[in-house]
Structure 1
Amino acid sequence: MRGAGDRIDTSTAHSARVYDYILGGKDHYLVDIEAGDAMCRHWPALPVHMLENRRFMHRAGRFLAQEQGVRQFLDIGTGLPTAPNLHEVVQEVAPESSVVYVDNDPIVLAHARALLQSSPEGATAYVDADMHDPDAILGSPQFRSLIELDEPVGLMIIGILHFILPPDDVRLVRRLLEPLPSGSFLALTIGTADFAPEEVGRVAEEYARQGMDMALRDLPTATSFFDGLELLDPGVTQVHKWRPGPEQNGIDDRAIAMYGAVARKP
């Protein structure tokens, strides 16, 4: 049986490793460094953009745990472990919280034990699966054992949707929401070129050259992902403007190419 390390392709860049490199991590290879450097030449604001996407996840997770009482989370497209991870954020508020992480990148799998350091009162699990196969996620032993479908769930889809191309995108989000009970929440970030179209367009072209096609959405398209759900204030906005803290002061809108929102399932 092949291990996670046997599946890691170091000959081509990978989005999770490029993200890790740009944010100052250490789990990447030369090919990811070269790709990340090229992207940052196209758009020097890329590190700020990526950091604010991560900070949105922290604020949204904390908001759901602290203000909405959510105690179980499904995190799709987890990425490489970067402290604080989602379980660290929500278990700081509510130690009994459970988090199921999902990613299909073998390098994430290789480091998944860092995602499994739960508080004694709570629990975490890691599912090696792809968002394109939601039934594998929802049918996994980890999901079935940790997620109770008579209690609200926080579905987190952060920094991955721009790699899910139409027409699959809406269908996959809906399929993941389908079994979750009323009172569950969707926290979603959506890539856009609305604020720096030339620079972000060049970054998207660089991703495509590296074999990672992207779909960037305008505001009406981004908002359509929440059809049928109850958007919470402030609605769909750039991620640094969603319930911002002091660290968001002074950020230039042109440095952020991501919409974000949290919505409740009625």
Structure 2
Amino acid sequence: MRVNRPDWAPRDVDMDRASAARLYDFFLGGSFNFEVDRELGRRVATVAPAVFDFARLNRAFLRRAVRFLVSQGVTQFLDIGSGIPTAGNVHEVAQRVRPGCRVVYVDNDPVAVAHSEVLLAGNPHVVAVQADMRDPGALLNDPGTARLLDFSEPIGLLMVAVHHFLPPADEPERLMARYREVLPLGSYLALSHITSDAVAEQVSALVELYRESTHPVTVRSKAEVATLFEGFELVQPGLVFTPQWRPESPEDLDEHPEHAGVYAGVGRKSALG
């Protein structure tokens, strides 16, 4: 079946398989996704209806983490695996508190980057970079990254809902060490990761269906997620389910926080890594 390419879709984008960025956009109620994403998204929602809460609560954690980092004096952010910008994205949250905050969005999905470039046009403090997190050298040396980020000052490294797309063969702990090494003292890491420690049946069903996408999912336990924070000191309340991380309003809370299915935490680099 021939699929019509929307005007906003890059010519080289794969429209035959769902992508993680576009699926996340679908679960958040966005419109920058294809029928292949919506079809798989509907199937995921049938077997794992909590996926909409996974996405919503994870997004709320991102916003709270950004506000916290700005309150700690962080004015520049590297958002790896940023996905497709939707309302309340990092630059909007950060610049609402401090207008001069700088943000580098990074994703390997051309749709995410193309839409980001349109959305961010005219904002000199924000840039979108197409790169693969598994290649820190290319990502960190990209002209956009080099132009906006000052690696002599603290940086907020955001890796929200991205590490579960790295299988063990990609050695995520070693990859994290490479990013940690280049971060100045006083920098922060905000990270979230899906788990099967709770709602295991739904998470397992989600994982199985994501095998059909361009980004299969690897779940990790709390102890395994904690290893990604090596070299960072976790701030209170530590590594918890997303609704438990510094809730600011009743909407942030959940009667059963474990049903969020995603661990989240923020750590500070206070020693040489």
Q: State the TM-score, normalizing by the size of structure 2.
A: 0.91
| 1:69, distance to aligned residue in structure 2 (A) | 0.5
Matched, 1:175 2:178: yes
2: CA distance, partners of 1:42 / 1:33 = 14
| Aligned residue in 2 for 1:166 | 168
Indicate how the Cα distance of structure 1 residues 79 and 19 shifts in structure 2: closer, same or farther if over 3 A, else same: same
| Aligned residue in 2 for 1:21 | 26
2: CA distance, partners of 1:71 / 1:219 = 29
Conserved 8 A contact 1:195-1:253: no
2: CA distance, partners of 1:218 / 1:114 = 38
5+ long unaligned stretches in structure 1? none
2: CA distance, partners of 1:132 / 1:94 = 31
Indicate how the Cα distance of structure 1 residues 196 and 97 shifts in structure 2: closer, same or farther if over 3 A, else same: same
Conserved 8 A contact 1:115-1:124: no
| Aligned residue in 2 for 1:88 | 92
Matched, 1:195 2:198: yes
The DSSP-based 3-state class of the residue aligned with 1:135 is helix
AA partner of residue 16 (structure 1): A
Question: How does 1:71-82 map onto structure 2 within 5 Å?
Answer: 71-82=75-86
AA partner of residue 260 (structure 2): I
| Aligned residue in 2 for 1:133 | 135
> 1:50-83 deviations in whole A, cap 9, x for unaligned?
01111111000010002x1101110001101101
2: CA distance, partners of 1:134 / 1:175 = 7
AA partner of residue 30 (structure 1): E
The DSSP-based 3-state class of the residue aligned with 1:6 is coil
Larger mean Cα displacement after TM superposition, 190-199 or 166-175: 166-175
The DSSP-based 3-state class of the residue aligned with 2:229 is coil
Q: For 2:115, which of 108, 111, 117 is the aligned residue? A: 111
Conserved 8 A contact 1:183-1:265: yes
| 1:117, distance to aligned residue in structure 2 (A) | 5.0
1: CA distance, partners of 2:258 / 2:202 = 10
Q: For 2:39, which of 34, 42, 55 is the aligned residue? A: 34
Indicate how the Cα distance of structure 1 residues 176 and 193 shifts in structure 2: closer, same or farther if over 3 A, else same: same
The DSSP-based 3-state class of the residue aligned with 1:157 is strand
| Aligned residue in 2 for 1:208 | 211
Conserved 8 A contact 1:85-1:115: no
| 1:114, distance to aligned residue in structure 2 (A) | 4.5
Question: How does 1:213-232 map onto structure 2 within 5 Å?
Answer: 213-232=216-235
Q: For 2:257, which of 224, 231, 253 is the aligned residue? A: 253
| 1:251, distance to aligned residue in structure 2 (A) | 4.1
Q: State the TM-score, normalizing by the size of structure 1.
A: 0.93
Conserved 8 A contact 2:244-2:253: no
2: CA distance, partners of 1:183 / 1:254 = 30
Q: For 2:65, which of 55, 60, 65 is the aligned residue? A: 60
> 1:92-118 deviations in whole A, cap 9, x for unaligned?
111111111111111112212245257
Conserved 8 A contact 1:70-1:152: yes
Matched, 1:237 2:240: yes
Indicate how the Cα distance of structure 1 residues 34 and 86 shifts in structure 2: closer, same or farther if over 3 A, else same: same
2: CA distance, partners of 1:103 / 1:18 = 14
> 1:9-43 deviations in whole A, cap 9, x for unaligned?
11111111111112111111111111001111111
| Aligned residue in 1 for 2:13 | 8
Query: Identical aligned pairs, as a percentage?
Result: 41
Quote the RMSD (CA, aligned, Å).
Answer: 1.7
> 1:160-213 deviations in whole A, cap 9, x for unaligned?
110011142112222122111100000001110111111110110010133532
